[in-house]
Amino acid sequence: MQVAIVLYPGFTALDVIGPYEVLGRLPDTEAVFVAETPGAVRNDLGGLSVGVVARLDDVPAPDVVVVGGGSGQADQMSDGPLHAWLRRVDGPTTWMTSVCTGSLILAAAGLLGGRRATSHWGALDQLAGFGATPVNERVVIDGHYATGAGVSAGIDMALTLAGLLRGDDVARAVQLLIEYAPRPPYGSGSRDTASPEDVEKMFTLFAQG
């Protein structure tokens, strides 16, 4: 099984590294990073680069595709090589997946029309503009499309996918291997549970002009 993980300048690291850690550990699986242009692709924080070894066209029929989000997602919304590749491989793929605002890229490529999908809470409503039905859940599956909510939800999405691909026993074994047992020190991990003060602080710290 081949898993193609899409990178572009300004990707969010955990969006793609979380699924890479899960799916890349499945038996008989090759996880490959792909990009329009091979080379070092820098993340949205600027301090991490991932070396891409495959062009999009070098991976014509992956079994699974993972598209993450990040500040660079806005530059990937126009029709072009990435969208064309996504549409081309959508047919042969077993699973087309996204994490965070990666679902907006899938939607802009025309893949999520009439489908239920999720995204980061701050971008969730934008899915409707592309004909998708926004769903405020951590993982949403509709057909062969699996979308994860914001950033850390990529691990949940990948574990869900691992169970569907290789069985629940294998998925549980991978979960144990990576010791994924979240017990966060705070309860502000979603818009539904965060206080108004937490939301205001987040926008103060991280809002971009």
Catalytic residue positions, numbered? 100
Q: Pick the closest to residue 121 from 199, 183, 46, 182 (CA basis).
A: 199
CA 51 to chain centre: 18
Q: DSSP letter for 154, please.
A: H
132, 116 in Cβ contact below 8 A?
yes
Alpha-carbon Rg for the chain in angstroms = 16
The residues, any chain, with a CB within 8 Å of residue 132's CB and separated by 6 or more, are: 103, 107, 112, 113, 114, 115, 116, 117
The residues, any chain, with a CB within 8 Å of residue 120's CB and separated by 6 or more, are: 69, 100, 101, 149, 150, 151
Q: Residue written as tokens 């077993």?
A: 94
d(CA 110, CA 78): 11
